[in-house]
Amino acid sequence: MEKKKKHFWKKAAVVLFGGLLCGGVASGTLAAYSYVQYHKEEKAEDVSQKPGGKPLSGQQGNGTLQYTGDKDAEARVSSVYDVSVVWDNVIPSIVEIQTRSVQSYRFFGRDYEQERSGSGSGVIIAQAEELLIATNNHVVDGATAIEVTFVDGTKAEAEVRGCDAEEDIAVLAVDFADLSEETIKNIRIATIGDSKELSCGDMVIAIGNAAGKGQSLTVGYISAVDREVEIEGVRMRLIQTDAAINPGNSGGALLDASGALIGINNAKLVASDVEGIGYAIPISEAVSVINRMLNREEIAYEDSAFLGIDGQDVTENLSEVLNIPIGIYISTIEKDSPAEKAGIPLYSVITGVNGVTVKTEEQLKEALGYIRGGTEGTVTLQERVRGEYVEREYQVVFGVRGK
């Protein structure tokens, strides 16, 4: 009998201890859940106070882009908890792009034309006399008509205001007269981030018109910040991410965790036999290209600048073989030309004009085409000094091409 009593009290103690333990675990779990929920809501609230874009001011801007993101690292980290808030804040800055083009071809000795359609994405980046949208050049290249769709579903015709095929950047313009007051209230200008501050492992968010089916979002991380990629003979340094970048995403936004624009997605580099590799043009590089497009003066050919050199393109392959910097190798300088008067040395390599990087003769001609002849400017080049190339800058009074 005494033995049974001891056994009973032993079982009772075990049950009581187990109950206390389970109760402790349950209460501990509840406390942990409450803590996580509280901080998740707290973080999400922080994000909602950091909009992914700003409303249109109703005033004309100068169209020049600059960094508008928050450089506070803690503020960026605090936004990781709720990507849906980033979506809500940023989606008013993203547009769908639909294009139409005409393709000519010859079949059995007869010429035919076929209309083709394409799709892509764009990001509202500024307002000047018109609403300005950044996208990839290949999205709109050869298009005879371009239509953009805003977050509220309204559509408007767009025109190309500038493009750079090598950098794969284009800027579209939409006339404010084609937008309703309601649409102007609904759309936003993207917050411009700083891609130079990125690191491998940073969380990123990609938004775009994937497969032309409408806006969608993918999330991933930065796999490389300065990946060299060659496409159609042109080498580019891009952000690599494992966030899915699909056809139709081209020209869309790659965002940091706070919703700041850090890259322009480029789906032209997507390969069917590769998974988990997407690319985006760093926004810090894109901004300089876009600003050059927006701020350059349209000048008649005969009034544009003339330098007076003949040269040869130094490609990356030639650069590696001959140990010459990439740029335009000066093989001839015309007598009494602006180049000769400025003292530019023969056999040096031109790499820039008025602060604009040039790598080929075609780019040099394009850059000179936006400089008025007779004005003073700078030519940046690599000059061979004691067997090594040294960067030098020469002041030049450009000649007038038409004279």
Alpha-carbon distance of 199 to 185, in angstroms, equals 35
Rounded to whole angstroms, how far apart are CA atoms 142 and 100? 9
Enumerate the active-site residues. 138, 168, 250
Selection from 260, 291, 252, 266 nearest residue 197 by Cα:
260
Kindly state the helix (H) or strand (E) to which residue 10 belongs, with its residue range: helix 2-48
Q: Are the CB atoms for 330 and 311 separated by under 8 Å? A: yes
How many other CB atoms sit within 10 Å of the CB of residue 271? 7
For residue 64, the surrounding DSSP H or E stretch is none
Say how far apart CA 31 and CA 6 lie, in whole Å. 37
Beta strands in 209-344 (DSSP E): 216-231, 234-241, 253-256, 261-265, 278-282, 305-306, 309-314, 327-333
Angle between helical axes of 83-90 and 2-48 (0-180°, round to 10): 20
- Alpha carbons 151 and 265: distance in angstroms, whole number: 19
For residue 176, give both structure tokens. 């404010």
C-beta separation of 266 from 253 below 8 A: no
